[in-house]
Every structure is written in C-alpha cells, then in structure tokens.
C-alpha cells in the first residue's frame, strides 16, 4: 500500500465515499447522454456519472490548490494537503468547488471545463473512460463514490472500486500522479504536471485483458486506446472513440472494408508505444480470430505481455490478441518506433475472403514491407486490391450496357 509523500508541485485528487458536496446541488443542470455514458452537470460538479446504465461515481468536482487551501503541512495553517501526501478529508467535504461548463462535444466524447483550468473528458466508449487533466494550474479533485461502494489499493498507481451493485471500476494514475486508499477506507491521491487520473469502468464485467490494459496505461507503456463498434443509430456506420494518455500522440481510426479497421498513430518523438485497440463484431464481422498487420516493417505475434512490451524500441512491431466474453476483442499493438504508423485489425471473415498473406502494408509514414506471423491472414493490401478489382468489373459491365 502506497504511503509516500509526493512533491508539492502537484495536483491533488480526492475520491471520497459519501454524500455529494453542497455545491454540487447548486447551479444550472446540463445533462449529457451518449450511447454508453450519461451524466449531469450541476454548477460545480459532474453528477451521476454512469456507464452502461450503472452509476459509477456520484459526483466529481475540481478546484485550484490555492483556493482549496493547499498550503501548510501536517495540519498546520489550515492547509488541505499535508506534507505526508494525505488530505484533510473534513476540509474537502466543505470545499468550494470551481464552476464547471460543458465544452466541446462530439459523437464519442464530452469535455467539461472548470473555471480553475482543469478539464474532465468523458469518452463515450465501452469502458466509459473519464480522463481528468489539471491544465496549467495545480488542482484539487473531489469525487464522491456511490453509497455502498468499496475501494482498495492495487499497487502504487491504481485503486480498484466495486459499486454497491457489484460493478467494477478502476482509478488509474498516469504519469506524474498517484492514487491510494486512506486508513478510513476513502481514496486520495495527487496528480502532478504532465499527469492525469483515468477512470475505466466495466459494466459488462472485467477480465484478464482489462487488467493488463490498466497496467500498460498506468506504467505509461500504452499511450492511447481506440474503440471501434457499431453506430449508436441505424446508419450502420463505424463508430470510433480515441483516448490518448500522452500529449505527443495523435490517433485516428477508420473502417477499411467490411471487416477491417485501420488505426493510425503519429508521435512527435521516435519512441514506440503500445496502442490498446478494442473492436466489436459490428466493426470486423467476427472477433474469434483477429488478425493484425502493421505498416512500416515486420509485425510478429507476441506470445506474452512481456514480449509485447519488449517490442517497443526493438527491430520489429508486435501484437497480442485477446477475446472478451461480450462479443468484442482487444488487439494490443506495440509499435516499435515512429513517426506515423498504421495497424490494420481484421476479423476472421476478412481472413477467409482472399488469398495468402503477400506482405503488402497499409500506407504509413515509414517505408518497408509488412508481414504477420499468423500464417494465413491476408495483408490489408490484398483486401484493397480485391475491392479495386470488383469496382473495375462494375465499370466495364456498365460500359457494355
């Protein structure tokens, strides 16, 4: 269990089981309702944060440390944060939180901005990922868990939460951050510059792949996540959500054929990273036998998470595929280096649609050929060529008519 002090130049996080702060009940209410995530915005708190119909957090609010009384140590001077890295929870209960407003919203995300400079971004994906960033100012964050929820330390950078109905969730400290459970069973922590706190929820249950994803995110080895699934409406379009955990990484995802999703990552530095890509059957047809190809070099199938981590900075990229019980699969893709790279994740139906793997790569920022160690999986180039031939045949028939 973590008990170390954290440097003063930090953002503080308090996750307190109990009733919502009084300030959360005041102010105008603005509701957000996505396909997976819903919450209300009431003055100075995000309230009733729910994922998949299950309420995970009762309220979340923020305030700058200067206004929260962040000075002083060991209880002297009325400071909220002591030199031992713990917080005066009684002071937090009476904390006047900063005003919140709903910022930019897209089909898959909603940004909440605080007067104190912090940003809380809700990602409308399967795990309802909530990312809390401090901005340029030091912040205090207060989140009240639902009544009956329990919390437990899991190493130095994670707190496991179980709601009163048994739903699992995890608070993850990323970068210059820490989270821990207090002696009273509450949760407190701090987030420093270039750090954030991430909330991942599991309304459909949590498995081994989810545990490893948390570890990769907490350690900084995974710089981003991508979710690809069916549209929330009847349009049939692919619905993608992108979450980044590093400032120097940009991501995009798009459908490339009926059974393939292309995930493109670009990074300012040459250093490789891992991208966690979760796809549903609606996106790739079948997740029973996912195939992965990577542009700009050879991609091999890792036999363990250790091999996956070792691929970063090595001579080749790697991937590891895990299926979930809820009709989805996750491809952990380790890009060995950058700049722009593209991973193509294909379902079993794509593998059955054409030919053998010819090693052709999807277009990427690096030169080189692409192969996979899976054996019979066709490269994305084969799928593209097949589509082009079908289109050409249609044009010739039209001309004959």
Provide, rounded to the nearest whole percent, the portion of the chain with pLDDT above 90: 41
Q: Where are the alpha helices (DSSP H) in 20-128?
A: 65-68, 89-93
Closest by Cα among 321, 326, 335 to 374: 321
Rounded to an integer, the average pLDDT of 166-193 is 76
Q: Which of 20-29, 184-193, 302-311, 336-345 has the largest mean confidence? A: 302-311
3-state secondary structure 237-296: CEEEEEEECCCCEEEEEEECCCCEEEEEEEECCCEEEEEEEEEEHHHHCCCCCCEEEECC
DSSP of 94-119: T--PPPEEEEEE-SSEEEEEETTS-E
Radius of gyration of the chain (CA): 23
Q: Over the stretch 12-44, which tens digit does the pLDDT of each residue have?
A: 444 444 434 433 434 455 789 999 999 999 889
Edge-first strand order for the sheet with 11-17 is 29-33, 37-42, 45-51, 54-64, 139-145, 11-17, 187-191, 177-181
pTM of the entire predicted model: 0.79
Length reported for the chain: 401
Closest by Cα among 204, 240, 207 to 224: 240
Closest by Cα among 139, 2, 1, 135 to 60: 139
Residue 254: its pLDDT value, please? 92
Provide, rounded to the nearest whole percent, the portion of the chain with pLDDT above 70: 68
Reduce the DSSP state of residue 70 to 3 states and report it: coil
Q: Is pLDDT at 205 greater than 80 in this prediction?
A: yes
Closest by Cα among 276, 376, 291, 289 to 335: 276
The Cα 168–Cα 36 span in angstroms is: 15
Reduce the DSSP state of residue 368 to 3 states and report it: coil
The Cα 142–Cα 63 span in angstroms is: 8
Q: Over the stretch 83-114, which tens digit does the pLDDT of each residue have?
A: 444 445 444 555 688 899 999 999 899 999 99
Locate 305 and state its tokens: 């998470």
Rounded to an integer, the average pLDDT of 202-227 is 95
The Cα 216–Cα 102 span in angstroms is: 30
Please, what is the Cα angle at 109 between 201 and 139, to 5 degrees?
A: 75
């Amino acid at each position: 269990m973590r008990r170390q002090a954290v440097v003063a130049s930090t953002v503080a996080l308090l996750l307190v089981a109990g009733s919502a702060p009084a300030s959360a009940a005041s102010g105008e209410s603005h509701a957000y309702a996505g396909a997976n995530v819903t919450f209300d915005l009431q003055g100075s708190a995000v309230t009733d944060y729910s994922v998949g119909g299950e309420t995970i957090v009762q309220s979340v609010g923020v305030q700058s440390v200067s206004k929260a009384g962040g000075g002083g140590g060991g209880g002297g001077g009325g400071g909220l944060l002591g030199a031992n890295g713990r917080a005066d929870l009684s002071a937090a209960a009476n904390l006047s939180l900063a005003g919140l407003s709903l910022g930019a919203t897209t089909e898959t995300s909603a940004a909440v901005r605080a007067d104190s400079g912090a940003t809380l971004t809700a990602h409308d994906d399967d795990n309802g990922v909530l990312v809390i960033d401090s901005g340029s100012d030091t912040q205090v964050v207060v989140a009240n868990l639902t009544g009956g929820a329990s919390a437990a330390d899991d190493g130095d950078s994670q707190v496991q939460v179980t709601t009163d109905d048994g739903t699992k969730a995890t608070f993850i400290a990323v970068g210059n951050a820490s989270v821990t459970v207090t002696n009273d069973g509450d949760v407190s922590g701090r987030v420093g510059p270039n750090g954030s706190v991430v909330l991942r929820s599991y309304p459909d249950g949590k498995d081994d792949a989810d545990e490893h994803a948390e570890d990769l995110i907490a350690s900084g080895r995974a710089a981003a996540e991508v979710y690809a699934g069916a549209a929330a409406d009847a349009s049939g379009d692919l619905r993608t959500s992108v979450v980044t955990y590093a400032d120097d990484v940009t991501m995009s995802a798009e459908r490339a054929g009926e059974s393939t999703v292309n995930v493109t990552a670009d990074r300012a530095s040459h250093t490789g990273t891992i991208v966690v890509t979760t796809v549903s059957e609606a996106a790739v047809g079948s997740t029973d036998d996912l195939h992965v190809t990577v542009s700009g070099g050879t991609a091999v199938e890792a036999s363990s998470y250790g091999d996956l981590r070792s691929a970063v900075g090595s001579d080749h990229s790697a991937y590891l595929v895990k299926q979930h019980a809820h009709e989805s699969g996750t491809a952990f893709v380790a890009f060995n280096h950058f700049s722009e790279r593209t991973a193509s994740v294909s379902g079993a139906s794509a593998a059955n649609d054409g030919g053998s793997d010819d090693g052709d790569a999807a277009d990427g920022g690096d030169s080189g050929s692409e192969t996979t160690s899976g054996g019979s999986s066709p490269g994305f180039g084969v799928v593209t060529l097949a589509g082009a031939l079908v289109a050409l045949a249609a044009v010739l028939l039209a001309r004959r008519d």
